[in-house]
A and B are shown apart, each in its own frame.
Chain A
């Protein structure tokens, strides 16, 4: 299972949640699999998907999912401390852990060696930390967790790599922003 297959399973579990999509190939894969106004695509600021999602969750009541990667979370590891402090009930962080910096050429990341982000999340005071290793467990697990109060941190263990032919997102940043803000105004 690569990030693309894992993402496809995650998106099957998602209903009307607001979704923050990590910079680079992850956003491009989500756009190809299931574009929707409730998706906010990051075109810059590597590391901040979890933080943007946390801000959206703190600011309103709808459920928010931040789709992030192991390299990005490692770059902003303090985010786990803040999530553990704020503990928003409407927040889920999903870390797709493919042990690599995918968008820059799949260089090995820290989780390929010494780092266990699930342990950092637990050590940050997040009580509901779930690790998924099997593709067929992703959709049922996330569907179940979304029916509970959060915060949740879900770590999905994947292999590096991605399919051929994933293109850039043909919408500019302001359009992504505007339609997301409009979607976030409603009660979902």
Chain B
């Protein structure tokens, strides 16, 4: 089915996905997170994009780099813990060769987290992103999605990667959407 048909609701996930697609992002990889379940369901049904799950985020950065070299506009969907798995690939592949990757990152360890082991990487992730040369924008609610538009425009124009962090508050904002799991 098409992107329009794959996005079934005006949920935070649906709104986010439509924004990203409107910028011509057409090639996705993902590693699961409970917060990203709806985004991944959309990716599995949207035949207007190229998509595969990957075994580990670092592999995903390699695949997306290849997609960009072949003229596509790539994005990774992952949890913030996954950023810890891609730092070298970001520095020595995508940053080094000016390959812009859009990173849609659920932010575990943010306010509302119930598993304390998620907190250390949740606290560290923005600093790790900045130290590894990736601009990072936290999107606190669906009302802030204009920052995604601006950020993707900036990334494409400058051929630099950009990461958007989506904390619990983003996913819980819409009245119609109650996550089944955290």
Contact = CB atoms under 8 A, between A and B. Distances in A.
B72 interface: yes
Interface stretch (B14-22, B88-96, B117-125): B88-96
Interface in A1-57: 18, 20, 40, 42-45, 47-57
Interface in B3-47: 27
Contacts, number: 115
Interface range on chain B: under 10, 10 to 19, 20 to 34, or 35 or more? 20 to 34
Interface string A142-180: 000000000000000000000000000000011011001
A177 B97 contact: yes
A55 B97 contact: no
B82 to A, nearest CB: 13
Interface range on chain A: under 10, 10 to 19, 20 to 34, or 35 or more? 35 or more
B55 A59 contact: no
A62 to B, nearest CB: 8
Contacts of B50: 58-59
Contacts of B63: 51-52, 54-55, 58, 82
Given A52-B62, A82-B54, A44 B70 contact: no
Contacts of A76: 56, 58-59, 62
Contact of B98 (A44, A50, A81, A174): A174
A86 B29 CA distance: 12
9 contacts: A42-B93, A44-B88, A48-B93, A52-B69, A54-B62, A55-B63, A55-B67, A56-B67, A78-B56
A27 B88 CA distance: 19
Q: Is the interface of A mostly helix, strand, loop or mixed?
A: helix
B94 to A, nearest CB: 8
Interface in A64-104: 76, 78-79, 81-82, 85-86
B65 interface: yes
A115 interface: no
A78 B70 CA distance: 22
A115 B176 CA distance: 51
Contacts of B53: 82, 85
B112 interface: no
A54 B92 contact: no
A5 B100 CA distance: 36
